[in-house]
Amino acid sequence: MRYSALILLLLLSAVLINVPTVTGGATPIAITPLKNPVEALPGDTVVIPFQIVNLGNETVGNVTVYVTGPVEGFIYQTKLIRIPIPPNGTINDVLSVKVLTVPPGRYNLTIVARAGSFYTQAVVGVKVGLLTDCSLDVNVDREYIYGHDVRIGLSVVSKSNGILLGTIGYSVLRDGRKLIDNESPVYLKPGKAWKKTLTLRKPKLGNYTVVLWTNLGGRFRKVVKTFRVYQRQLSYKAYFNNGAITVVVYNSSGGVPGIRVMVNGTELRTGDDGRVSYAVGRPGTYKVTIDLDGRIVTTIIEVRKLFINPSQRGSVLIVRVVDSKGLPVPNVTLSASGPLGEDYAVTNSSGIAIIDLNRTGYGTVILSAKSSEYLGSQAVVQVTGPRTSTHTPTRSRHTVVINLTLPQDIVVEGGGANTLLSVILMASGLLLAGTSYVAFATPIVHEEVLDRYYFIKVRAPRLRSLKNYRIERRVSALEVRATKGKARLEDGKLIWELDLEAGEEAYLQAVLG
């Protein structure tokens, strides 16, 4: 008897659990789920069927029906039923619920029906199962140029709502032959990712295949990507021109950018036109190395400098131009700038050019040699005109001009120390023999050009000081500095005015333009 009463009590409790809660006045309604529980997986949209019963004696209309439950993990629908429900009448309909990524388990939701101030509700269960899903990706380009590293990105992202247990594996093949083959167990939480980067160091030419696979939660997945490593047919030119080493890399389509070029250890890259230039300031041997898609080529470029050897013959300068090895250089453009103006000439097959001194004037003449295939050069030479002697005995300003005409068999070689010394000694002997004033009362002026710099050194006589001493040179210069006096550039001329005590020295430096 006891057991029968207990069983009856349990049955009544089960019936009462599914009886909807009714709140309101004289026209109550009741809502009942027609399927309970409802099964779903993350990402599913489930449908919950229900029935509404009018328990009153009046018709009910405009009933609002909706679902409530956990704030996160679900998206709920609300619906308005406009069809009138007569007394004791019923109406069936459905509500939808979107299930997001929530852990597996049973979730109790509440469906509510409201009509005016009356509402009713009932509990419906949603049973969320375990979703064993993931996404696989192989990040690799379709083509790679030979001679460069290849990086392959592998990733597996869990889309499961629970922990995934299983194995992840990958392999890399070249032309069907395995280069890499690996697999390992994995423990992947919901929303987490497994990542791996493979680096192939300058792989060989060929067709490559990358395979990534997973066996997680009893489900097998695989993704395959392919790429190729190839080499372009590249050609190149390397040469010295106009003060720079130029390298041009090209193929059938034109210039190739991004090619690595090394010049004496300095790394450069070709531009959009396939060219790169390396400025050269000194003669010598330059090693040029070019990476042509993994094919390394090396070439040697010899950069030579021009040297000027001038000699005066009467009213002309005979200028011989040679290279670093002393060989004559033809087709060199030679320019000469002197007190009166400029003259130009081109060396012949023997490397010789003639400068007309009647055009440049006598005194200081600056020679410049230029060629696109050589480093240029400059030299300063002192040339003498017809024999004259001029003396201006004024105390406020001293200008001494001594012009010597050498015999025709004496040649002044610029850059030749012995010949120049012989000429100086000969001129000094003539001066000493002629007058003691020139030997002991005349200032000493020395001029020299080194690269782009022009130097003048002035030493006062031993027996007297220099007052208001002035030097003028027709020189194309950008800047001038002096240790004594005032130096300036004016109308294409260099002007230096200074005072020196007996035996005192002063220096001037000019930057040639």
| 162-202 residue pLDDT tens | 889 999 999 999 999 999 999 999 999 988 999 999 999 99
Closest CA to 469 of 427, 424, 425, 508: 508
- Tokens for 153? 């990105």
What share of the chain has pLDDT > 90, as a percent? 52
| Angstrom distance (rounded) from CA 412 to CA 326 | 18
Q: What is the pLDDT of residue 387?
A: 63
Torsion of Cα atoms, 13 then 18 then 23 then 29, to 10°: -140
Q: What is the pLDDT of residue 449?
A: 75
Q: What is the pLDDT of residue 12?
A: 41
pLDDT digits (tens, 9 = 90+) for 105-125: 999 999 999 988 888 999 999
Same domain, yes or no: 315 and 371 = yes
Give the SS3 label for residue 429: helix
Same domain, yes or no: 168 and 251 = no
Q: How confident is the model at residue 417 (pLDDT cuts 50, 70, 90)?
A: very low
167: in domain: yes
Domain containing 250 equals 235-303
| Angstrom distance (rounded) from CA 459 to CA 176 | 86
Q: What is the pLDDT of residue 106?
A: 93
Kindly report the CATH number assigned to the domain that includes residue 484: 2.60.40.1170
Average pLDDT over residues 414-424: 40
Q: What is the pLDDT of residue 269?
A: 93
Same domain, yes or no: 317 and 335 = yes
Long-range (24+ apart) CB contacts under 8 A made by 100-103 are: 100/42, 100/43, 100/72, 100/73, 100/74, 100/75, 101/42, 101/43, 101/73, 101/159, 101/161, 101/190, 101/191, 102/42, 102/70, 102/72, 102/73, 102/74, 102/128, 102/161, 103/128, 103/161, 103/162, 103/190
Kindly report the CATH number assigned to the domain that includes residue 290: 2.60.40.10
Which phi-psi region, left, alpha or beta, contains residue 264 (left: φ > 0; alpha: ψ -120 to 50)?
left
3-state helix vs strand vs coil in the chain, percent to 5: 10, 60, 35
pLDDT(20) > 70: no
DSSP letter string, 170-207? EEEEETTEEEEEEEEEEEE-TT-EEEEEEEESSPPSEE
For the whole model, what pTM was predicted?
0.52
Q: How confident is the model at residue 428 (pLDDT cuts 50, 70, 90)?
A: very low
Closest CA to 368 of 324, 348, 410, 338: 338
Q: Which amino acid is at 203?
A: P
Q: What is the pLDDT of residue 216?
A: 92
Higher pLDDT, 394 or 224: 224
Q: What is the tally of structural domains in the chain?
A: 5
pLDDT(72) > 60: yes
Q: How confident is the model at residue 503 (pLDDT cuts 50, 70, 90)?
A: confident
| Boundary residue ending a domain (332, 366, 383) | 383
| Angstrom distance (rounded) from CA 85 to CA 95 | 18
Residues 6+ apart with CB under 8 A from 339: 360, 361, 362, 363, 364, 472, 473, 474
Query: Mean pLDDT lowest for which of 49-63, 156-170, 316-330, 382-396?
Result: 382-396
Q: What is the pLDDT of residue 98?
A: 94
Opening angle at CA 232, ends 231 and 237, nearest 5: 125
- Encode 317-377 in three state secondary structure: EEEEEECCCCCECCCCEEEEECCCCEEEEECCCCCEEEEEHHHHCCEEEEEEEEECCEEEE
Q: How confident is the model at residue 56 (pLDDT cuts 50, 70, 90)?
A: confident
Q: What is the pLDDT of residue 477?
A: 85
| Tokens 């004594």, located at residue | 484
pLDDT digits (tens, 9 = 90+) for 310-367: 998 888 899 999 988 889 999 999 999 998 899 999 999 889 999 999 999 999 999 9
Q: How confident is the model at residue 492 (pLDDT cuts 50, 70, 90)?
A: confident
Same domain, yes or no: 295 and 343 = no
| Angstrom distance (rounded) from CA 381 to CA 365 | 5
Average pLDDT over residues 457-462: 86
- Tokens for 209? 């295949």
| Boundary residue ending a domain (230, 264, 281) | 230
Q: What is the pLDDT of residue 196?
A: 95
Average pLDDT over residues 483-491: 89
Same domain, yes or no: 246 and 183 = no
pLDDT(391) > 50: no
The H-or-E segment that residue 421 falls in is helix 417-434
Query: Mean pLDDT lowest for which of 7-11, 40-44, 83-87, 361-365?
Result: 7-11
Same domain, yes or no: 167 and 223 = yes
Average pLDDT over residues 15-23: 42
| Angstrom distance (rounded) from CA 499 to CA 502 | 10
Same domain, yes or no: 246 and 292 = yes
pLDDT(413) > 90: no
412: in domain: no
Phi, psi of 17 (to 5 degrees): -60, -40
Same domain, yes or no: 77 and 143 = no
Average pLDDT over residues 18-31: 59
Same domain, yes or no: 223 and 244 = no
Q: Which amino acid is at 362?
A: Y
Average pLDDT over residues 256-267: 92
| Boundary residue ending a domain (176, 198, 230) | 230
Please confirm whether the linkage preceding 407 is cis (ω < 30° from 0): no
User: How many other C-beta atoms lie within 10 A of the C-beta of residue 439?
Assistant: 15
| Angstrom distance (rounded) from CA 62 to CA 170 | 60
290: in domain: yes
Same domain, yes or no: 242 and 322 = no
User: Best-predicted range by mean pLDDT among 16-30, 261-275, 404-418, 478-492?
Assistant: 261-275
Q: What is the pLDDT of residue 405?
A: 35
Q: How confident is the model at residue 2 (pLDDT cuts 50, 70, 90)?
A: very low
Phi, psi of 35 (to 5 degrees): -140, 125
Q: What is the pLDDT of residue 5?
A: 44
Same domain, yes or no: 150 and 222 = yes
Dihedral (CA of 52, 55, 61, 63) sign? negative
269: in domain: yes
Mean pLDDT, all residues of the chain: 83
423: in domain: no
Torsion of Cα atoms, 141 then 144 then 147 then 150, to 10°: 10
Give the SS3 label for residue 458: strand
Q: Encode burial over 391-429: b for 16+ CB neighbours within 10 A, e otherwise.
A: eeeeeeebeeebeeebeeeeebbbeeeeeeeebeeeeee
Query: Mean pLDDT lowest for which of 81-85, 310-314, 476-480?
Result: 476-480
Same domain, yes or no: 168 and 218 = yes
11: in domain: no
